[in-house]
Amino acid sequence: MKDEWDVIVIGGGHAGIEAALAARRKGCSVVLISATINRIGEMSCNPAIGGIAKGTIVREIDALDGSMARSADATTLHFRMLNRRKGPAVWGPRVQSDAAEYASVQQLYIENSGVEILEDEVTSLDGLTEKVTGVRCRKTGSIKGKTVVLAVGTFLKGRLFRGDELWKGGRIGDISADSLEKDIVKRMFHVERFKTGTPPRIIRSTVNTEEMEVQPSEVTDFTFSYGKSRQRDKEEVCYITHTNRSTMDIAKKNLHRSPLMAGRIEGTGPRYCPSYEDKVVKFPDRQRHRIYVEPMGCESGFFYLNGLSSSLPREAQEKMVRSLPGFGSAEISDYGYAVEYSYFHFSEIDDTLRLKKTENVFVAGQICGTSGYEEAAGLGVIAGANAGRTAQSLEAMSLSRMNSYIGVMIDDIVNKGADEPYRMFSSRAENRLHLRQDNADRRLYKTADMFGILSGEKRDLLTGNMKEAEIIRNVLEREMVDGVPLSKWCRRVGVSAEKAIAATNSLVDKDEKVLMSVILDEKYSGYIDRNLRRYESRRNLEKISLREIGSFMDIDEICWEAREVLERRKPETLAHAEKLAGVRPTDLQGLLIYLGRQRSTWNNSSPELVRSE
């Protein structure tokens, strides 16, 4: 074990893995500490990666050279492109993965990367909060590190619930990080409670799939990863069944035994991913809810019941499951449960994912208030890259929300926060026609390069894609079809890569995927340009730094409500201030007047530029 590590990553979940790998690609020495190393990369809930907007995050992670896309490709059993009925801008690739194999492949990436793996429980940070010196572990004692990434998921004071049962844990069979939470609270970090839950798993041989609708996998050559990725060689079908009157009656009869309804869980859960008992309460007239029956792996003995998350007592879960068509004799292997856990309030985190009270602690994943593997992994790459940069005395970087879903997510979390576990939706991105799954490689090429986290192989691949796109763009601008430039012709409804190739010989040898992506740029160019113009005018506000302001409470030019909000949130730029609830346009004007007057006093004639990509 080294005397001092550049980066210590706590947690081997989706966030911790990407953080450790990104810091390693940055050239840092990295140790990843996980409470149970054989559960590194585990899918705690559903065996699936991607979906609407989430699938685009996975492609962005790949553009930043993370591992999630390649592991999902290698372990895919079932593929669907969601939202196909809508435009390609909001298509969402989603795969069903072999859960056990996915974790093994992720573990291999870590093992082969040169990241040191340590099985231990971190019980506290070491050193002063402003600048920690490392972490303290239950068995190993103190470990020194220049920077720390906290990626401990649902484990901070994790409490698991099922009916009247209550026990400690971050997920079933795992520890609860009570000591670490105590240390975090003692250091005066503002933490709050969220909850989430999971459905029962069913023994496959006890289910009659003939009574269910079959959902086959789509035939496609899609891979999440740009370039060569191991494509799936196995396939599974999924099934669809529905709840009915009887399922609803059983849940209703047992509602008083639900830990949530009985008030024993106080944390807020995800509205978009409710438990079955939540659905029964919120939609009392709706008996029929769709349940996706998903295999946990290739020829796995278990089914996951997507849509039947529950923390009702075991006997109620058994009855509910057996009321479903095809499940009359079903046996449950693992019962559903809910987990309540602590997460960092958004006011603690800056846009580089650093905890503001510290110089060198970064956070990623569910402890930032997000939900989902993809969100966690996306944050992990950025936290790991910035921890690496900080360890190397480089400035940490932030992403623009105009250029990636990961940027949208970080901007939303650190500026607005979330009153429920944050999940990415395409509606959250004002520039979503640009933030497509087909162009993540080109969108993030510059960012990945600036972070310094691309391996040589990935850089070559992405550089090749960039060049190919440039050549295609030149052809589109140069050539004419039907009397109009090819670039304008491409905007017509129904023009595809195939049609463009048929229209001109100059495109015959071009990569069809890159060609289609460039054609989509053309089709959406009007909207994208308009969005960029709006954004540019807002960026001017981002250039105006508020860092020199000691106290907002003394600024007479702004109203009291705004003073209190600004003092509490300490925005770094005028653009940050603009986003805060309680700050009005007149307050921004007031701040500008105040800054203009103070500038001579501070002898700071040009406003400091904030970091951005």
Ligand X SMILES: Cc1cc2nc3c(=O)[nH]c(=O)nc-3n(C[C@H](O)[C@H](O)[C@H](O)COP(=O)(O)OP(=O)(O)OC[C@H]3O[C@@H](n4cnc5c(N)ncnc54)[C@H](O)[C@@H]3O)c2cc1C
Rounded to a whole number of angstroms, the minimum distance from the CB of residue 418 to ligand X is 13
Q: Which residues have C-beta within 8 Å of that of residue 242, sequence separation ≥ 6?
A: 288, 289, 290, 291, 324, 325
Contact 38, 68 (CB under 8 A): no
Pick the closer one to ligand X by CB: 19 or 461.
19
Pick the piece of the chain touching ligand X (CB under 6 A) from 36-44, 103-111, 434-442, 472-480: 36-44
Site string for ligand X, 343-382 (x = CB under 6 A): ----------------------xx----xxx--x------
Pick the closer one to ligand X by CB: 58 or 555.
58
Site string for ligand X, 89-128 (x = CB under 6 A): --------------------------------xx------
Rounded to a whole number of angstroms, the minimum distance from the CB of residue 374 to ligand X is 8
Among 151, 408, 558, 565, binds ligand X (CB under 6 A): 151
Measured distance CA(368)–CA(420) in Å, rounded: 11
Among 35, 402, 475, 591, binds ligand X (CB under 6 A): 35
Among 8, 89, 125, 152, binds ligand X (CB under 6 A): 152
Rounded to a whole number of angstroms, the minimum distance from the CB of residue 178 to ligand X is 9
Rounded to a whole number of angstroms, the minimum distance from the CB of residue 401 to ligand X is 21
453's tokens: 């986290």
Pick the closer one to ligand X by CB: 16 or 50.
16
- CA-closest candidate to residue 378, choices 31, 25, 61, 606: 61
Q: Which residues have C-beta within 8 Å of that of residue 493, sequence separation ≥ 6?
A: none
Residue 10 is a binding residue for ligand X (CB under 6 A):
yes
Interface with ligand X: number of residues (CB under 6 A): 36
How far lies 373's CA from each of 44, 215, 407, in Å?
9, 23, 16
Among 47, 153, 163, 200, binds ligand X (CB under 6 A): 153
- Judge residue 257's burial from the number of C-beta atoms within 10 Å of its C-beta, 0-12 exposed, 13-18 middle, 19 or more buried: middle
280's tokens: 């029964």
Q: What's at 151, amino acid-wise?
A: A
Among 339, 361, 382, 433, binds ligand X (CB under 6 A): 339
Q: Where are the beta strands (DSSP E) in 487-607?
A: none
Residue 45 is a binding residue for ligand X (CB under 6 A):
yes
Subset of residues 159 to 198 that bind ligand X, contact rule: CB under 6 A: 170-171, 177, 180, 196-198
Pick the closer one to ligand X by CB: 138 or 530.
138
Cβ neighbours, 10 Å, residue 166: 13
What DSSP assignment string belongs to 152-214? -TT-TT-EEEETTEEEE-SSTTS---HHHHHHHHHTT--EEEEEEEEPPEEEGGG--GGGSEE
3-class DSSP assignment, residue 582 = coil
Measured distance CA(415)–CA(283) in Å, rounded: 32
Pick the piece of the chain touching ligand X (CB under 6 A) from 4-12, 97-105, 519-527, 561-569: 4-12
Judged by the rule CB under 6 A, the positions of this chain that interact with ligand X are 10-16, 33-36, 40, 44-45, 121-122, 151-155, 170-171, 177, 180, 196-198, 273, 339, 365-366, 371-373, 376
